[in-house]
Amino acid sequence: MTSLLPKERNFSCSLNLITMAVEKTSHLTPEQRVHFLEHGWVKVPNAVPKENIELYTKDIWIRLGYDKDDPSTWEEERFRMPRQREMPWAQFAPKGYGAICT
């Protein structure tokens, strides 16, 4: 895994800044903060509310023209769909946004 920490001579200074930033967030538990500092990632359960996931995926099969129960209709493994709805990140995933941005 590639580190996201800057490659500087004063690595301890960079680590201290990251530690201070992580300690300030009110959206992570102390255990999540420690895990992030030790591993560089953290799982945020329910980062996106279920109702937002359902809102954005409810017509995906119709829009794609695929049958969700018949994988033989799935023509592409990956694709990009045109935008249909938009919502600010803080509203779409409040817990995820809070853990990253506040």
Q: Are residues 59 and 94 in the same domain?
A: yes
| Cα gap 28→99, rounded to integer Å | 6
Q: Are residues 49 and 87 in the same domain?
A: yes
Q: What is the chain's mean pLDDT, rounded?
A: 77
Q: Are residues 38 and 61 in the same domain?
A: no
Q: Are residues 58 and 79 in the same domain?
A: yes
pLDDT at 28: 86
pLDDT digits (tens, 9 = 90+) for 8-27: 444 444 455 555 555 566 78
Q: Are residues 3 and 51 in the same domain?
A: no
Domain count, the chain: 2
Q: Which range of residues forms the domain containing residue 26? A: 1-43
pLDDT at 12: 47
pLDDT at 16: 53
Q: Are residues 67 and 102 in the same domain?
A: yes
pLDDT at 24: 62
- pLDDT greater than 90 at residue 49: yes
